Amino acid sequence: MVAVLEPGFNAHPQRFHLPAVRGIVCEQQQEVVAPASAVTDKTWKELILDSDIPVLVDFWAPWCGPCRMIAPVVDELAKLYVGRIRCFKLNTDESPSKATKYGIRSIPTVLIFKGGEKKDSVVGAVPKATLIATIEKYLDSLFNVDRSLCCFRKRFRKNEPA
């Protein structure tokens, strides 16, 4: 979004106490995060199996009403977990072999992959909270790592001679 301030224009002078600005262009930085991207048979290995972070794949079709209901939720999750998980959508009409390979019998179906392996599946148009709970199981949590190190240190200190 670009706003051009006209000569003599003062944006909220009582609130911000700004002097009049002449001809300055202000640009508002917007977060650029793409929604879940499409994946096909050709890009499957590179995007899903070779990913270094967990991957969520939404198996859908354009004619499927529940698929259209869950699509915005998957896009929200892609934005919410940016950098921690990758989200993709696979059109089962265009890539039926992947749906067959992973035993997709009903759509929408969401699969979670980690380390190139299928870890979990969620079938149907479920609430956002259900998908979040499923995703959270497969994210590496620094809290859990720190907590286990803390417990290890406590046990180690107990065994030390006084």
Task: Choose the catalytic residue: 64, 87, 150, 151.
Answer: 64
26 catalytically annotated: no
Please give the full DSSP string across 85-121, using - where no structure is assigned. -EEEEEETTT-HHHHHHTT--SSSEEEEEETTEEEEE
CB 114 within 8 A of CB 55: yes
Between CA 135 and CA 40 the distance in angstroms is 22
**Cα-to-chain-centroid distance, residue 70:** 14
Element spanning 57, H or E: strand 55-60
87 catalytically annotated: no
Residues with active-site annotation? 64, 67
